[in-house]
Amino acid sequence: MSRRRTTTTRAAACLGAAALLLGGALATTAGSTAAVAAPENLPGVPEAGSPAKAWEKWAAQERADAKATDWEADAAARGCELQDVTITSEVDREYNLAMGAPADLETHRVELAERCDGAASLAGEVGSADGDATRSATTLAAGLPSGSQCDTTEGPGVVCLWKDSGRIYSSWRYEGSGTVTGFLRIYRVSTGSSGCPTGSTWLTGADSSWSNGTTRTVSKTRTQAGGYATHVWKKVVIGHTNWGSTCASL
HSE of 229 in the Cβ direction (CA atoms, 13 Å)? 31
Strands of the sheet with 214-221, listed across from one edge: 4-11, 80-91, 106-116, 214-221, 167-174, 157-164, 149-153
Q: Which residue has the higher pLDDT, 92 or 117?
A: 92
For 157-167, write each residue's pLDDT tens digit.
999 999 999 99
pTM of the predicted structure, to 2 decimals? 0.79
| pLDDT confidence tier of residue 36, bands split at 50, 70 and 90 | very low
Q: Which residue has the higher pLDDT, 214 or 1?
A: 214
Q: What is the residue type of 77?
A: A
Q: Quote the percentage of the chain above a pLDDT of 90.
A: 62
Residue 245 has pLDDT above 90, yes or no: yes
Full DSSP string of 135-162: --GGGGTTSPPBS-EEEEETTTEEEEEE
- For 7, residues 6+ apart whose C-beta sits below 8 A from its C-beta are 67, 86, 87, 88, 89
Q: What is the mean pLDDT of the chain?
A: 81
| pLDDT confidence tier of residue 237, bands split at 50, 70 and 90 | confident
Rg of the chain, C-alpha, whole Å: 17
Return the sign of the alpha-carbon dihedral for residues 92, 26, 36, 45: negative
